[in-house]
Amino acid sequence: MSDTISFVLFSGTDDRLQAAAVMSAGAAALGKKVNIFLQYWALDAFRRDRIDLDHGLSPEAGEAGRAAVDALRAAGQASWKETLSQAKELGDVDIQACSLSMDLLHLEESDLDPLVDGVEGVTAFYISAEDGEIVFI
């Protein structure tokens, strides 16, 4: 089992971000090095002024899915932001914004939530991924 796992987050809906946060926190708890690379709509969700907003759910969620997600949250489930924050406190979790997506969305590093550690290109991401798996969400 490799000591490094890397997640490419593309989708910016709360359900996918929640799943990614759970996967990341679980890996951090096992002592793995976790890299998170933010692209497109996932990066948009990490904007300082938008991270706490409702980002909707994947189309397949439907009304029943919306109700189920709301019920879990009402029962006290940590948000994806909180889950990632705890994962970073616990272990080695590095969150980087894709530089191309920064251009696409006309963002500066100061526009991003402090959870994001920096901006890098895809080559740097591959180098930090080492020989571990890369998961696209």
Please, are residues 101 and 38 in contact by the beta-carbon 8 Å criterion?
Answer: yes
Q: Given the rule CB under 8 A, which residues bind another protein?
A: 1, 22, 25-26, 28-31, 72, 75-78, 83, 86-87, 89-91
Please, are residues 34 and 28 in contact by the beta-carbon 8 Å criterion?
Answer: yes
47: left (phi over 0), alpha (psi -120 to 50) or beta: beta
Between 29 and 127, name the residue whose CB sits nearer to another protein: 29
- Closest separation between CB of residue 1 and another protein, Å? 8
- Closest separation between CB of residue 92 and another protein, Å? 12
Cβ neighbours around 39 below 10 Å, total: 21
Between 26 and 65, name the residue whose CB sits nearer to another protein: 26
Residues with Cβ within 8 Å of residue 58, at least 6 apart in sequence: 11, 13, 15, 16, 65
Q: Which amino acid is at 79?
A: S
Between 23 and 38, name the residue whose CB sits nearer to another protein: 23
Between 87 and 112, name the residue whose CB sits nearer to another protein: 87
- Closest separation between CB of residue 129 and another protein, Å? 20
- Closest separation between CB of residue 23 and another protein, Å? 8
Q: What are the backbone angles phi and psi of residue 91, rounded to the nearest 5°?
A: -135, -155
